[in-house]
Amino acid sequence: MSTRALEWIIERLLFLCAALSVLTTAGIIMVLAVETYEFLQEVSIVEFLTGTEWTPLFANRHFGVLPLVAGTMLVSTIALVVALPMGVLTAVYLSEYAPAGFRRVVKPILEILAGVPTVVYGYFALTFVTPLLQTFLPGLSGFNALSPGLVMGLMILPLVSSLSEDAMRAVPNGLREGSYALGASRMQTALKVVVPAAFSGITAAFILAASRAIGETMIVAIAAGQQPRLTANPFVPIETMTAYIVQVSLGDTPQGTIEYRTIFAVGMLLFVMTFGLNLISTWLRERFREEYA
Amino acid sequence: MRKHADLLFQIVSLSALVIALAALGALVFDIFADGASRLSWSFITNIASRNAEDAGVYHALMGSIWVIALTGLMALPIGVAAAIFLEEYGSRSRAARFIELNIANLAAVPSIIYGLLGLGLFVRMMGMGQSVLAGAATLALLALPVVILSTREALRTVPNSIREGSYALGATKWQTIWNQVLPMALPGVLTGLILALSRAIGETAPLITIGALTYIPFAPDSVWSKFTVLPIQVFNWVSRPQTEFKENAAAGILVLLALLLTMNAIAIVVRDRQQRRGRV
């Protein structure tokens, strides 16, 4: 075979490997869509999306997904309330105040938080954080949304802080110097110049963090309970979309039954939500890159 | 006044960092306090048992090693090939841009969605069943975006003069990549692979979704074996109400963390050797 033909074949093969990622996305959409379609043959989409009772595993079956969505939103909101301010403050400190040596030591330690397996966080939430909270919140159930929410916030904090810090460090130093020249303090420069200039990058970090929180599974499967409940009360057991998928997967649910299909329908909803957030985040980061490129 | 506000702000932002680090400290302390006393050689060599005191992690540890080894075997060639295409061949074409965007999005898809993909595609459609192979294939898809991104960075560190020198000697594009670029980028590629695998080894949700068992009293002996992995065994123990099993869970976590630390240490050694070679 001529060298030229060989080169041509190799390039095609490499392209195929790269294209596998597109096939993965297509595969995800196809697998979810097929089972969701079957599911929607038996349950109307209106009942699924607007129903307020989720009891597919009981004799009296209802397929309203809202309690699961509410559980997901509740835990994610708590996580974001923790991770966003703390992550941005950490980023401000590391990017505007910390000496270089301190940064070099602290950043890898902070990254460890992102590398801890989520099942470990689940254990921590259930056996440490919940009992700790119960000492001053006596009404708190053993399973609740608060404790996994706080721990999840800890988990996504490094994501928020490292992406925000990248965005802040990309702000040209000229802007900082201009601000100092006008007599601004470091805090004024950080809050009124650097953070606004890095705003789209920080927003992208927030959105990615929200998407991570919505899709997080093991912390809530371990520490939040398995009771789908339409509530905003963080002290009682709830169930998230991801925890429901785990709950059904653990049982022996035969393929082709409607219970089996519910996990794909819930998965489809989860995929649509996170994919939408990811697209917005990517778009924001692209825009941000253009601003200071 | 302004100075005070500035100092206060600095203290507030530093305390956010300190709280996060303190929470990490509490987590590590909690797990050691609960699990260290349960760790012993028999905990590593025993298999699952209904009695908390007799139970061990041998089957789950072996399951994790089987799955991760196979995941690496699948993710490495495909990920490196994809990265070479994007970095060395098609970086300006529209198809490459689309693939890049797609990879960035895939990297942020929740891992449990990969589990549903694995369940629908590998376990059912391709008939792999709840095997080591199906688990590894699922995790390989999950690890691919990370492997691709880190390989591209490694390729980018190879200076262009190397490529041009190789072309000048009459080498073709692929000969240049295979003989010059890849060997130089190899330590970076391996570091990225190990980091991707150390993330995959802690994954629980996708493997539960494809039906990896929570109770399985044997280690896998082929890629078709049913299996369980360390994080699933930990999950199984955490879910039981008895305190003794919680201790087992903590000890299981310690084994998992030891495995993770080992992998990360290898990655650091590989990276250091690369940096030292780069300087000479």
Neighbours of B50 (CB within 10 A): 8
Domain A66-292, CATH: 1.10.3720.10
Q: Would you state the torsion angle of the CA atoms of residues B221, B226, B231, B235, taken in this order, to the nearest 10 degrees?
A: -140
Instruction: Tell me what the mean pLDDT of segment B231-242 comes to.
Output: 90
| Mean pLDDT (whole number) for B251-271 | 89
DSSP-assigned states of every residue in B249-262: HHHHHHHHHHHHHH
Do B34 and B148 fall within a single domain?
A: no
What kind and span of H or E run contains A66?
Answer: helix A66-92
Tell me the pLDDT band of A2, cut-offs 50, 70 and 90: confident
Query: Which residues 66-85 of chain B have a CB within 8 Å of chain A?
Result: 77-79, 81-82, 84-85
- Using alpha carbons, list the distances in angstroms from residue A19 to A7, A27, B61: 18, 12, 34
The verdict on a CB contact (< 8 Å) between B17 and A106 is yes
The pLDDT value recorded for residue A291 is: 61
* Cβ–Cβ below 8 Å for A187 and B209: no
- Asked if B108 and B205 sit in the same domain, the reply is yes
Please say if the pLDDT value at position A218 is more than 60: yes
Q: Could you tell me which chain B residue has the CA closest to the CA of A117? A: B202
Contact B85 A185 (CB under 8 A): no
Same domain, B32 and B85: no
CA B238 to chain A, closest CA, distance in angstroms equals: 7
- B71 token code pair: 């995941």
Query: What are the tens digits of pLDDT across the range A39-66?
Result: 999 889 999 999 888 988 888 888 999 9
* CATH number of the structural domain spanning residue B124: 1.10.3720.10
| φ, ψ at A2 (rounded to 5°) | -70, 155
What are the pLDDT digits (tens) for B31-48? 999 988 888 888 888 887
Same-domain status, B32 and B142 = no
Question: What does the pLDDT read at residue B279?
Answer: 46
Query: Cβ of B16 and A263 within 8 Å?
Result: no
Number of domains in chain B: 2
Q: What's the gap in Å between the CA of B2 and the closest CA on chain A?
A: 7
- B65 shares a domain with B28: no
Neighboring chain A residues of B34 at a CB cutoff of 8 Å: 127
pLDDT at B211: 83
How far is Cα B25 from Cα B31, in angstroms, rounded to an integer? 10
Spacing of C-alpha A283 from chain mean position: 17
Interface probe with A: pick from B1, B10, B17, most Cβ of A within 10 Å: B17
Cα(B171)–Cα(B169) distance, rounded to whole angstroms?
6
Q: Give CA–CA dist A81/A185, Å, rounded.
A: 28
Q: What mean pLDDT comes out for the span A106-132?
A: 92
Residue B211's closest CA among B119, B136, B113, B143? B119
Query: Please, where are the H alpha helices in B157-242?
Result: 160-168, 173-176, 182-201, 205-209, 230-238
B101 touches chain A (CB under 8 A): yes
Contact A85 B16 (CB under 8 A): yes
Pair B206, B230 in one domain: yes
Whole-number pLDDT of residue B91: 63
Radius of gyration of chain B (CA): 23
Mutant choice from A14, A22, A162 vs B, greatest count of B C-beta within 10 A = A14
Whether B16 has its CB under 8 Å from any CB of chain A: the answer is yes
Q: What angle do CA B29, B43, B33 make, to 5 degrees?
A: 15
Average pLDDT over residues A32-41: 94
Please report residues of B whose CB lies closer than 8 A to that of A274: 108-110, 113
Are the Cβ atoms of A13 and B81 closer than 8 angstroms?
yes
Q: Which of B150-154, B214-218, B244-248 shows the lowest per-residue confidence on average (mean pLDDT)?
A: B214-218
Among B12, B14, B116, the residue with its CB nearest the CB of A31 is B116
Separation of alpha carbons A54 and A197, rounded Å: 45
Neighbours of B182 (CB within 10 A): 18
Q: Which phi and psi angles does A198 have, rounded to 5°?
A: -95, 15
Q: Which of B7, B13, B57 to mutate to test the interface with A (most CBs of A within 10 A)?
A: B13
Q: Do B170 and B31 fall into the same domain?
A: no
Q: Are A146 and A133 in contact (CB under 8 A)?
A: yes
Contact A97 B109 (CB under 8 A): no
Task: Note the pLDDT of residue A1.
Answer: 64
Q: Judge: A127–B2 Cβ closer than 8 Å, yes or no.
A: no
Q: B34, B113, B122, B179: which to substitute to probe chain A, counting the most A Cβ within 10 Å?
A: B113
Q: Which residue of B has its CA nearest to A208?
A: B108
Give contacts of A187 with chain B, Cβ < 8 Å.
Answer: 5-6, 9-10
Mutate to test the interface with B, among A11, A217, A241 (most CBs of B within 10 A): A217
What does the mean pLDDT of chain A come to?
Answer: 90
Does the pLDDT at position B139 exceed 80? yes
Are the Cβ atoms of A117 and B9 closer than 8 angstroms?
A: no
Q: B89 is in which domain, residue-wise?
A: 42-279
Residues written for chain A: 293
Contact A154 B202 (CB under 8 A): no
Average pLDDT, stretch B227-243? 90
Among A162, A126, A187, smallest CA distance to B34 is for A126
> Does residue B136 have a pLDDT over 90?
yes
Q: How far apart are the first and last CA of chain B?
A: 53
pLDDT for the residue numbered B255: 95
CB contact under 8 Å between A21 and B96, yes or no, is: no
Q: Is A54 helix (H, G, I), strand (E, B) or coil?
A: strand
Mean pLDDT of chain B: 89
User: pLDDT for B97-121, tens place per residue?
Assistant: 888 888 888 888 999 999 999 999 9
Segment B51-58 shows an average pLDDT of 83
Q: Percentage of residues in chain B with pLDDT exceeding 70? A: 96
